[in-house]
Structure 1
Amino acid sequence: MKKQKTKVTCIGLDENGKGIVNIKGKEYFVSNLLPNETAIVEMKRTKYRTFIDVVKIEKASKDRVQAPCIHYGYCGGCQLQHMSQQAQDNFKQKIVVNLLKSFGKVQRIITMEEPYHYRNKVQTTFSFGRKKQIISGVYQKNSHRVIDMEKCLIHDRKADEIIQTIKGFMKSFKLLPFDEDTGRGFLRHVLIKRGFATNQVMVVLVTSSKMFPGKNNFIKALVKAHPEITTIVMNINNRKTSVVLGREEITLYGKGYIEDVLCGKKFQISAKSFYQINPVQTEILYNKAIEMARLKGNETVMDAYCGIGTISLIVSEKVKKVIGVELNKDAVRDAIRNAKNNQIKNTRFYEADASDFMVKLAHEKKKIDVVMMDPPRAGSDQKFLSSLIKLSPQKVVYVSCNPVTMKRDLHYLTKNGYKVEEIQPVDMFPQTSHVECVALLTRE
């Protein structure tokens, strides 16, 4: 590997928060660098890639702060801790404005009052350290080496406490971390979910086999140490894969799920359920999306990509009827159960491809007034968007976790009879480069 040091000046930021520098006429992207800063960087060239790390900041930006996390720069989970909070807000606002300003005015980003410890889902990996001690944490960026981490500033505090307790128990209960290279060991990961409104806690032990020596004593000790734990699930993952969860689950303690309350509705959350990671900002995001739709009460709403029915159930009391569509069978089952638990009778959930489902509705000349869509980071594909055009709802409320793919999708919709009325960014993941956005489109 060839190494060389050089002096650079940062000329801007990319959408991931990396500093843009120009070296011998070629652009590079460097973590932990802010606009107008001058720095000494080290370039490491391999056969396939060039890595650039900041060695020394020679001229610092007024927006630079000391990152509060001791692991910052190694773990890769956060990208913006070296920016002041105001600078983070301005960066995210600028990203959305630059991408979406051609569609209309972008409102000022809705930020988070307390931008730390917001993750209600925490996942950790277990391994052996260099001195053969048991460690737990996350993978170092660009590697498969686990960083030993006692706490994370964006994790739920209680989840981190429970993980440290489990790590402390492993030696006395003779539970070894799983080694991916040899295939030996027992505990691969621990996943913890907490209901912020209910304080219910789920612990998921991801193991390499069903054989759990000392299982009953381990559970008893863990619940005694943390009485707030309401359920413990063992998930068996014996495959050679980087996917965290396996297919088989055994409930060891409690009901096998927890409940949380979001926008006044109660939701059941299992180990595999998708549930928004930041419930505080999710309430703001969903309420904004519903407010944008300016519902009168007599509408039929379709919730595409409905998951466990969060948006469907929240909007249900404001409209005549809600149709939720989701391809994941387990999520549809959870959505039906959540509707029943909330005594909501004007929702129907279907296990189907949303694109095919919309084409079918259009063919049957069924009227849908509003489509609410919350696609994954990749956005919607052309099949979905063309199906949406065929269905031709009066309004589309688009919730996006990636403004880059949102721009592409809005371009398609505005070329096919829709107009963007309002755009609102929301900061769901402070300290990271991610930004959510909700837009209202109406049929012209």
Structure 2
Amino acid sequence: MTNRKNKGSKKSVKKQNKHKGKQALQGSKKKHKFNTNPNTHRKRHGGKSVTAEVTCSGLTNEGKGIFLWEGKELEVENLLPGETAEVIISRKGRFTKTEIKRVINSSEDRDIPPHSYYYESGGCQIHHMSYEAQARFKQKTIDKLMKPFGKPEPIITMDHPYDYRNKNTMTFGLNKKRQVICGLYAPNTHQIIPMERSLIHDPKADEIIQTIKGMMNSFKMQPYNEDTGRGFLRHVLVRVGKNSGEIMVVLVAASSMFKGKNNFVKALRKAHPGITTMLLNVNNRSDSMVLGEQEKVLFGKGTITDTLCGLEFQISAKSFYQINPIQTEKLYTKAIEMAELTGEETVIDAYCGIGTIGLVASQKAGKVIGIELNKGAVRDAIRNSKRNGVKNARFYQGDAGEYMVQMAARGEHADVVILDPPRSGSDQAFLSSVTKLKPERVVYVSCNPETQARDMKYLIKNGYKVEEIQPVDMFPQTAHVECVSQLILKDS
């Protein structure tokens, strides 16, 4: 991906980028840094490896290139439709692993990532596509998944598809030279890929993390070693209020014993005066969770605030808050439009989190009921309701499905159910509770259209029809896409 600065016309910049891209793809190993050593590959996987020239015929939903080899359809990362490449194919038992050795001819849709670690970290699966190609890819994915329900609207894209993440977490460790490094884990491993800058992270967050890395030696602060259980710093999490400008820094450590913490906080604040709060989170667990239960405020109030759709939200270290506020406003605006609120309706905000969608809906609804399993999130939602002077919203801790079943048993009614479940989607127990309550409209917001399509089939079998489907590009440079759908009760 090239850094797009305003130098000359878009056409000339695009032409320069294509020229650079072809040079890099055809001759420059420095830019791509694919693992091109078959011996290393064979040693790592313990099986035979061959190099084959293949042509990409399409993309998977994860953005991997598809090609045919010995009559089998295989997938490989970083390959685009129409491109021909040399691919290293390794077999070990029933498993086949693929890796690009060299792209022979590049697609017009290819962009060159500015950092070599892009190919190793796996965080931005389609960073090698131009943004126009990314939008087409995501539209095609949604169109295919949603074909049984109707024709989706054109995807809502982002004007500046970079620097959007308001939450950034980096892991710390030591390299073979015993030097402190920080970055992201390589896919399916606990090997840290050193990373200084990502074009989807907030630049301030990356700068702060690099400053912390540079301070560690002088403060005799050791990164945590998962194998030995020794060391102190595991991760650093930075949250940025995109509209407020407030910044939270969370040091995730293996122990609460933080020697020299006052001097460390003072030095970091001197380097970055924009930091408004700092916390120490203690995580001595051995699983993949980033944050532990124990938390101590080192400076400031322990939370930050940000504005979304005209409302102010308080965000804690553990709060779920959409990572792309610019696109979130577009998504929520569309969701509220689909709810067709006139000021009289009772709205249920299932999986309500800290209350973002429900509080936005409260501005046009008669009454909002938010339900969430996480107690901390419910507390945040209640605080956010009071902060914004909202009188017609109530938030409860519990299972949303059970709550709706109880409402139906009491003869109570809801006009609209808005749900924004995790990537795994809803379960049948929840969906059956929706069909028992029979709201006139269901607005389904999803970060995983595959599980959304599965759940919509259930609702359709039980009395609903799909009226509108709107994809939103919430996560540029990645294969993920958000989608909001409106379902209407047929009898109504």
Normalised-by-shorter TM-score class:
over 0.9
Deviations 1:114-163 (A, max 9, x none): 00110000000111112111111111223221111111111000000100
Which residue in 2 is equivalent to 1:144? Answer: 190
SS of aligned partner of 2:457 = helix
Q: 2:255 pairs with 209, 212, 220, which one?
A: 209
SS of aligned partner of 1:224 = helix
Whole-angstrom CA distance in 1 between matches of 2:100 and 2:209? 32
Which residue in 2 is equivalent to 1:298? Answer: 344
Q: 2:294 pairs with 248, 268, 275, which one?
A: 248
Whole-angstrom CA distance in 1 between matches of 2:223 and 2:92? 32
CA contact (8 A) 2:117 2:194 kept: no
Whole-angstrom CA distance in 2 between matches of 1:263 and 1:82? 32
| Amino acid paired to 1:401 | C
Structural RMSD (CA) = 1.0
Q: 2:325 pairs with 271, 279, 292, which one?
A: 279
CA contact (8 A) 1:322 1:347 kept: yes
Which residue in 2 is equivalent to 1:355? Answer: 401
| Amino acid paired to 1:309 | G
CA contact (8 A) 1:68 1:81 kept: no
CA contact (8 A) 2:348 2:368 kept: yes
Give 1:47 deviation, angstroms: 4.0
Give 1:48 deviation, angstroms: 5.6
List, as ranges, runs of 4+ consecutive aligned residues in structure 1 with deviation greater than 4 Å: none
Which residue in 1 is equivalent to 2:370? Answer: 324
Which residue in 2 is equivalent to 1:44? Answer: 90
Q: 1:17 pairs with 55, 63, 86, which one?
A: 63
SS of aligned partner of 1:43 = strand
CA contact (8 A) 1:392 1:443 kept: yes
Give 1:44 deviation, angstroms: 2.2
Give 1:68 deviation, angstroms: 2.8
Whole-angstrom CA distance in 1 between matches of 2:182 and 2:326? 27
Give 1:22-101 correspondences, 5 Å limit: 22-47=68-93, 49-101=95-147
Whole-angstrom CA distance in 1 between matches of 2:309 and 2:115? 32
Q: 1:339 pairs with 369, 372, 385, which one?
A: 385
| Amino acid paired to 1:369 | D
Which residue in 2 is equivalent to 1:385? Answer: 431
Which residue in 2 is equivalent to 1:431? Answer: 477
Whole-angstrom CA distance in 2 between matches of 1:231 and 1:265? 21
Whole-angstrom CA distance in 2 between matches of 1:411 and 1:434? 21
Give 1:77-226 correspondences, 5 Å limit: 77-226=123-272
Please, which moves more after superposition, 161-170 or 62-71?
62-71
Give 1:27 deviation, angstroms: 1.6
Give 1:21 deviation, angstroms: 1.3
Whole-angstrom CA distance in 1 between matches of 2:213 and 2:152? 46
Give 1:59 deviation, angstroms: 2.8
1:365 aligns with 2:401: no
CA contact (8 A) 1:69 1:153 kept: no
CA contact (8 A) 2:370 2:396 kept: yes
CA contact (8 A) 2:352 2:358 kept: yes
Whole-angstrom CA distance in 2 between matches of 1:80 and 1:369? 40
| Amino acid paired to 2:358 | S
Whole-angstrom CA distance in 2 between matches of 1:308 and 1:85? 32
Please, which moves more after superposition, 55-64 or 42-51?
42-51
Give 1:239 deviation, angstroms: 1.8
Which residue in 2 is equivalent to 1:400? Answer: 446
TM (normalized to structure 2)? 0.89
Whole-angstrom CA distance in 1 between matches of 2:468 and 2:286? 46
TM (normalized to structure 1)? 0.98
SS of aligned partner of 1:163 = helix
SS of aligned partner of 1:165 = helix
SS of aligned partner of 1:171 = coil
CA contact (8 A) 2:313 2:384 kept: yes
Please, which moves more after superposition, 304-313 or 139-148?
139-148
Query: What count of residue pairs does the alignment treat as equivalent?
Result: 444
Whole-angstrom CA distance in 1 between matches of 2:212 and 2:91? 40
- Uncovered stretches (5+) of structure 1, i.e. residues with no partner: none
| Amino acid paired to 2:463 | G
